[in-house]
A and B are shown apart, each in its own frame.
Chain A
């Protein structure tokens, strides 16, 4: 996979490059600021951009803003946002266009290598990768929601993984459940949340996230 990295801290930029090249990916550009990121994405048209939220010149949320700007111009450009902290609001802004191919993860998740590699594959393929911390915040704000309250403990667990963007098979593996029972749980969840059944797992993830963010 051809990847562009935008991270202002040299230590982390180098670490990411090492990690990605060490796992068979190609880093076509590693930049340190938001304007450089926009230029690099335009020049290289990468399969994925991995972007830090806080970038120069302002060291606020320039990375996120640049990502949103890039996706306004090229709606399906796959972008994975990494951050030292996660805010539900930022996640909501990222998924608001409904196009998928976005991810928002804590930087720590990079160190759980297999899951991280899985997440970047998913985003590059048009899917979604939401941090479990974002999902926790989503659940907290929906604790009073009727649909969510109607879910069983197991269904909630499955919903959490769906919201993170995991595929059925990944959910099976994570919860050591049979594919059929995962299907059943997902069917129940969609019914209880009053969401239309969707075969396409990417679209399902987006519907679930949109529901939890409304």
Chain B
């Protein structure tokens, strides 16, 4: 309790002392920055002033944190490592810059209000310590009712008792004012609720992308592991069986060995289907455009591929784009009764678009299970998938995937 009171008093004292300086600093930097804003000096001056303001605000956050009993977070975004002008502009756009400045201005009135707490403290301490000092102050013209309290030793001890009795009131005033100051400071110097939500959203998007990328990388690893591991071992076992079968010749066991060999072939065929479903090898070998061209070439109708310059894509985006096109093409072949089909894939800035358009009969169910699976896959990458298929056609499957570098 004494410690809290001590901290509160310290906070009030420093606030009163620092308030005018901080206020003057805010006034000066605003004036200077404003005057220089038409010159080449503006960015360095503004950057320098903001740097100092931020250090001051950091100290203020520590002070407020001591009184509030919690950490007061800094709201600053990461500084771009670019040209001075751009960094200056980024700072101007950042709300935290202006909230810091607003706090600098408020520091003066806030400190002055805190003065009330200091006066309360001084008065109470004065009462408690009355016997020690009051004798040295002449008080000749007091009303009779209080005269004895000031001018007799016993009376002064009554003042001490009164001071002790009023101590809780003084304590309340001091801590409340200190808390009020700290709360105002924290409210301005902490990230606002919007900023906190935006930060959280960015963080979630980031972690989700990492999860999706890790999953895609994992699927590639599984494909490779199967290729070098299980599949190779099964083939090797098949080779051994083939030699054994040859050595057994026409013996009855030969037929059993032949059966075992065929069963291994079936296992391999099954593994191949599995691998194609999780990560088609041609996508690993030749990349997205070649894999799409292969898909197009395997279709029983003419499929035109229009591909722009794609640049490097993350494995997750690449395989999502591939499976969108593959599923859409499979549906065209199965249901559309189309005679012509076009797959367009292009990267515009940081958006990859995949579109499969056919001239078939349309009327496709945009919420079918295959499309639904694709949509989930695309949405996990913050993308969108739309299917438009009016009766009579044409059917267009359109996917957009963020592919930010």
Contact = CB atoms under 8 A, between A and B. Distances in A.
Interface of A: 9, 11-12, 15-16, 18-19, 22-23, 53-54, 59-61, 84-85, 87-89, 92, 106-108, 110-113, 137, 140-145
5 contacts: A60-B285, A84-B281, A85-B272, A88-B297, A142-B300
Nearest to A58: B285
Interface string B260-273: 01001100110010
B241 interface: yes
Contacts of B236: 11-12, 15
Given A11-B232, A12-B236, A85-B276, A110 B242 contact: yes
B261 A111 contact: yes
Nearest to B238: A111
Interface stretch (B72-80, B125-133, B223-231, B306-314): B223-231
Contacts of B239: 12, 15-16, 18-19, 110-111
Contact of B293 (A12, A23, A54, A89): A89
A87 B276 CA distance: 11
Contact of B228 (A9, A92, A108, A112): A9
Given A15-B235, A85-B275, A111 B282 contact: no
A9 B286 contact: no
A5 to B, nearest CB: 13
B4 to A, nearest CB: 67
B284 A60 contact: yes
B240 interface: yes
A70 B233 CA distance: 29
A141 B293 contact: no
Interface of B: 224, 227-228, 231-233, 235-236, 238-243, 245-246, 261, 264-265, 268-269, 272, 275-276, 281-282, 284-286, 290, 293-294, 297-301
A92 B34 CA distance: 71
Given A11-B232, A142-B300, A144-B301, 13 more contacts: A12-B235, A18-B243, A22-B246, A54-B281, A61-B286, A106-B268, A108-B238, A108-B264, A108-B265, A112-B242, A113-B245, A140-B298, A141-B297
Contacts of B269: 108
A142 B275 CA distance: 25
B268 A89 contact: no
B284 A143 contact: no
A209 B242 CA distance: 30
Given A15-B236, A111-B261, A141 B294 contact: no
A201 B235 CA distance: 31
B242 A19 contact: yes
A76 B71 CA distance: 77
* Residue picked from A53, A60, A87, most chain B C-beta under 10 Å: A87
